[in-house]
Amino acid sequence: AEPALTLRPATPVLLRPARRTVPVPKQVVSILDAQLRPQRNVEEMLVDAPAVPFSVCGAIGSVASGKSTLLSALSRFLLPSLDAATAFNAHSEASLANGSTVTSGVDAIFCEQHVVVDCQALNPLVLGGNAHSLQMQSTEVAMFALSVCNILLVVQDAFCEDSILHTLASAAMLKRAGAPGDSSSFPSMQHCARCVFVYNKVPLDRFTPSVRDSLHDRLRAFLDPAAFPSTSQPVLNDLLTGDERRDPGLDLFLVPCSETATRAHRLTMDELWGKVGQLCQDATASANPSGSFGTWFADGSRVADDIRNSRLVSVFSKAVHSQRLFE
């Protein structure tokens, strides 16, 4: 007789529930504090965001340059369904009067296939006991923005501020010296955003091709072509250039003052968003399809850690401080 078969109870198989994908709330989110430390609740908010190709457009600029207002308008252009009340913090008459800061650290709006990033204002070179720390803080903010954005608006108020350009040039130099290598990874210290230089609130009598050309020459005098290369199709004002052939150069856009040139301001803003929006669409088309807002935030947080802990940044800070002592 054949031996009886003993049946063992089957081992239960534990099935993992399918990972859910949750859309990110369409609101302004503080992602880094003033010391470039990640905010704790952001990773949890983004962990279940779906994997989609997306672009990142940010802005840096001087105090009260209008960058936050420009970015809020860009967010609504990229996502027309965005609530009109969803906007980055902008200066009021009261904040301008008392000199308070309205954006501290880094804020962001996640717009389906776009991330729009607003950074705290870059402080101009000033005299005083805390001038050194303010300058280094601005340099670190600029390093972060250059590392995590595809397109970066560099916004200044009407006229070129040499101190802002010094900060931008220092940030690019520290990035390249501290992290040489392949620039294809994003975001990373090796990556450098495409910068669009926006001069806001320009008086109408200075809204001319000659002023634009002089500003371009000034930018070229400050900025390293290796970090800020010319493009074959630069973003320029069609209202100033018409259909004439454009030489390679930096992206440089003038925005007239809204109070004195309402119609020109409206036309210029429409043109600017069309051009920046196209850059965002191009960046989205070439983005990693398996990426997500969560992986971008995690990689960006590591970039912020690298900046805060960089020995090269520390040495540069001490050199700047020593220079100020002898001034």
Per-residue pLDDT at 23 exceeds 80: no
> What's the distance, CA 27 to chain centroid?
17
Would you say how long the chain is, in residues? 327
> What's residue 327's pLDDT?
47
pTM of the full structure? 0.86
Query: By mean pLDDT, which of 84-93, 143-152, 276-285 is the weakest?
Result: 84-93
Of 197, 194, 215, whose CA–CA distance to 206 is shortest?
215
Q: How confident is the model at residue 314 (pLDDT cuts 50, 70, 90)?
A: confident
Domains of the chain: 28-325 (3.40.50.300)
Per-residue pLDDT at 316 exceeds 90: no
Say which DSSP state 150 is in: S
Per-residue pLDDT at 89 exceeds 70: yes
> What's residue 149's pLDDT?
97
CA–CA dist 252, 154 (Å, integer): 9
